[in-house]
Amino acid sequence: MNYLIPFLILITVVVFIHEYGHYYFAKKFGVGVTDFSIGFGKEIFGWNDKSGTRWKICWLPLGGYVKFFGDRNVFSQSEQENIIKKYNESDRKKLFILKPLYQRSIIVAAGPLANFVLAILIFAMINMFIGKDMTPAIIEEVQKDSPALAAGFKKNDKILFINNNKVESILEVSTFINTSTSETIEFKILRNDVNLVLLVKPNLVETKDALGNLVKKKMIGIKLSVSSNELERQRLGPTKAIYYSAKEVWFVTITSLNYIGKIITGSGDSSQLGGPIKIAKITGQVAEHGIVPFLSIMAYISVSLGLINLFPIPMLDGGHLMFYFFEKILGKPLSQKTQEGFFRIGLFLLFSLMFFVTFNDLKDLGLF
């Protein structure tokens, strides 16, 4: 229960923001919205607003949806004409399928984009009110027989860049090392006012993270210096806070895409992929450390949800955008047979992914 409640709060907020992105632009472009649901399945409770939208909470809290007036997949021009005949002139103005292609595209893309905006706002609030860590990454110790020692690292070296990522915080060192997709990592350091470039091949070690979970981490064998055992946090103004927040969201997005690319090519560690069970576990563990870590994990999950939904897989927002792209190129929607084929492929991919991450989650719990 300690893990379940924080997870439900997190997923409700992230899903609500995602669906509200769709809802906001649908209303802006005059599309009728019949349902706004958080969760799937049977309704727990809900209410109708003045415009006739049913706002509801359902039993399965692993997503949500916004249902548009007259919403369905239209496969052919003749079928579209038959559907239109069922509505009067006033109702036709509220049909999603009759809106210009650019408006439909914006409505669909608004959900994932809302997730990115939420993450930026969360990070910006933390940077402004709590502060961003600006502790310089200075090496205090290089361990014996370590990759770092073999690469030439020395005490008091200041780490400036890791794989061309500027290191502005001591906390970023481990992140940049472990998100690297190359076998050899490039470090740019400052030693006695001289810039040096060192290449190091990290060891892959199974260890425990700060929450006590077993993870595989890349280690190079250095200990960084923190004066008085305290991080140097600086409160940022709105402009800088948003800049660093957008930078963080961009880094998470690019890193995630690189990782997924490695998984697809078979060179990535797929055991680190997790699903709802793992997310719930980590969310509960993080929530025990306070509101700031909880908000941070919410931002990261929001980025992940937005990114995944942009993948060109039918049934996801990215799949609809892919269909709209073909519609723009061809001048008409894809045929019924073609769309049905894509949907079958998308359904297979989604179920395969759900099975795989659930297996990883259960294995992480020691059930396999």
3-state secondary structure of 231: coil
Q: Which part of the chain has CATH 2.30.42.10?
A: 132-234
Q: What is the mean pLDDT of the chain?
A: 88
Select which of 19, 81, 206, 340 is catalytic. Answer: 19
Give the pLDDT score at 18: 97
- Total count of residues recorded for the chain: 368
pLDDT in tens, 51-83: 999 999 999 988 999 999 877 554 444 456 666
pLDDT tier at 353 (50, 70, 90 boundaries)?
confident
Q: What percent of the chain has pLDDT over 90?
A: 61
What is this structure's pTM?
A: 0.89
pLDDT score for 74: 47
Residue 75: per-residue pLDDT = 46
The 10s digit of each residue's pLDDT in 268-280 is 777 767 778 888 8
Strand partners, 223: 141
More confident residue, 315 or 198: 198
Query: Sorting pLDDT into bands at 50, 70 and 90, what band is 210?
Result: low
SS (H, E, C) 22-52: HHHHHHHCCCCEEEEEEEEEEEEEEEECCCC
CATH of domain 132-234: 2.30.42.10
Choice between 351 and 176, residue whose per-residue pLDDT is larger? 176
| Of residues 366 and 326, more confidently modeled | 326
Does residue 186 surpass a pLDDT of 90?
yes
Average pLDDT rounded to a whole number, residues 89-107? 90
In order of 175, 201, 234, 293, the CA distances from 136 in angstroms are: 15, 23, 12, 21
299-341 pLDDT per residue, tens: 999 999 999 999 999 889 999 999 999 999 998 888 878 888 8
Is 107 in contact with 25 (CB distance < 8 Å)?
yes
Predicted local confidence at residue 297, as pLDDT: 95
Residue 76 is predicted with a pLDDT of 47
Read off φ and ψ for residue 367, nearest 5 degrees: -90, -5
Residue 189: count of CB within 10 angstroms of its CB: 22
Answer whether residue 44 shows pLDDT above 50: yes
- pLDDT at site 227: 66
Within 10 angstroms of residue 292's Cβ, the number of other Cβ atoms is 13
Distance CA 295, CA 125 (A): 10
The answer to whether residues 326 and 362 touch, using CB atoms and an 8 Å cutoff, is no
Instruction: Write the DSSP assignment of 123-184 as a string of letters.
Output: HHHHHHHT-EE----BEEEE-TT-HHHHHT--TT-EEEEETTEE--STHHHHHHHHT--SSS
Q: Find tokens 């492929």 and name the residue.
A: 345
Return the ∠ at Cα 114 (arms to 110 and 120), rounded to 5°.
Answer: 145
Both tokens of 312, joined, read 């060109």
For the chain, the first-to-last Cα distance in angstroms comes to: 23
**What is the distance, to the nearest Å, from the Cα of residue 28 to the centroid of all Cα atoms in its chain?**
26
Can you tell me the distance from the alpha carbon of 118 to that of 64, in angstroms, rounded to the nearest whole number? 17
- Concerning whether 19 is annotated as a catalytic residue, the answer is yes
Confidence check: pLDDT of 366 > 70: no
